[in-house]
Amino acid sequence: MTRTLGVSLKMYFGYDQTLRWCRTVVAKLGDHPALVSGDVRLFILPSFPAVPAVSEILRGTPISTGGQNLAAADSGAWTGEVSGSFLREAGGKFVEVGHAERRTHFGEDETIVSDKTAAALRAGLVPVLCLGEKNRMPVDQAAAEVQRQFVTALQASRRYGLGGSLVLAYEPFWAIGAAEPASDEHISGVCEHLRKVVASEAAHPDSAVIYGGSAGPGLLTRLGGTVDGLFLGRFAHDPDALAAIVAEAAA
């Protein structure tokens, strides 16, 4: 089973800091055997202006980059937006869609998330589709809710006959940055269900289900085969910590 690891830098780093961090990551992980073999895949999502430079830094390594967001439209008079084709041309392979912060602070509803998922697939990008329940609830209810979100997010893609690899990032809203993270049992239960849903929906065989609510060291080992990887946040700002997670995934 290929393990998938992603890092979103959000808006924590400046431009120069982003490039320095990426160069350090390449020095530590650019020739890591598990990444080179494809047993582990790693993608990094910096702020938009850094994507071309990060792509150059990562060139010749097995590490990929992409964007934290994209426009639902492919081109046109959309001031301040960035299209999927622009990201792809700049060297991006992955793009985050529907993160809880986008839904909460920018009013991205399920129609927008569905349209952006379709836009990513049209551009040949791998959507990192973020799913999660807003409030703490039993595993079976949470699993049903993320399944509903997943099926809804694919509506526009199916309408246009689009397909491709997906990364589903399960991030329960209530666990993001929380003092008390979701339990291992909760994560395993929801992710196992989501993996079955992905299989039943005939998704691309390279699709993966990863967990991203306050993920840290040891979690991937504890979750075992119930999850395909992790979506990392501030923990990965330390390149040594990221290297430790890659080693854990490789093991």
159: in domain: yes
Query: Is residue 168 a part of any domain in this protein?
Result: yes
Helix (H, G, I), strand (E, B), or coil: what is residue 81? coil
| Residue 157 lies inside a defined structural domain of this protein | yes
Q: CB of 235 within 8 A of CB of 241? A: yes
Helices marked H in the chain:
15-29, 33-37, 51-58, 84-89, 100-105, 110-122, 139-153, 155-159, 184-200, 219-223, 239-250
- Stated as kind and residue range, the H or E segment containing 7 is strand 3-8
Per-residue pLDDT of the chain (251 residues; tens, 9 = 90+): 899 999 999 999 999 999 999 999 999 999 999 999 999 999 999 999 999 999 999 999 999 999 999 999 999 999 999 999 999 999 999 999 999 999 999 999 999 999 999 999 999 999 999 999 999 999 999 999 999 999 999 999 999 999 999 999 999 988 876 677 889 999 999 999 999 998 887 567 789 999 987 777 889 999 989 999 999 989 999 999 999 999 999 99
pLDDT of residue 100: 94
Active site residue 56: no
**Cα separations (Å) of 80 from 69, 71, 103?**
12, 9, 18
What local confidence, expressed as pLDDT, does residue 78 receive? 98
Domain for residue 83, yes or no?
yes
Quick check: is 163 in a domain?
Answer: yes
- Residue 131's H or E segment, with its range, is strand 126-131
In-domain check, residue 202: yes
Alpha carbon distance 183, 175 (integer Å): 10
Total of domains in the chain: 1
What's this model's pTM, rounded to 2 decimal places?
0.96
> Is there a catalytic annotation at residue 110?
no
Provide the pLDDT for residue 202: 57
Out of 32, 99, 186, 193, which one is annotated catalytic? 99
In a domain, residue 22? The reply is yes
Q: What is the DSSP string of 42-55?
A: EEEE--GGGHHHHH
What is the residue range of 130's domain?
3-90+102-206+221-250
- 95 within some domain: no
Catalytic residue, from 96, 108, 145, 171: name it: 171
- For residue 67, the domain's CATH number is 3.20.20.70
pLDDT of residue 203: 63
* Six token digits for residue 192: 């196992």
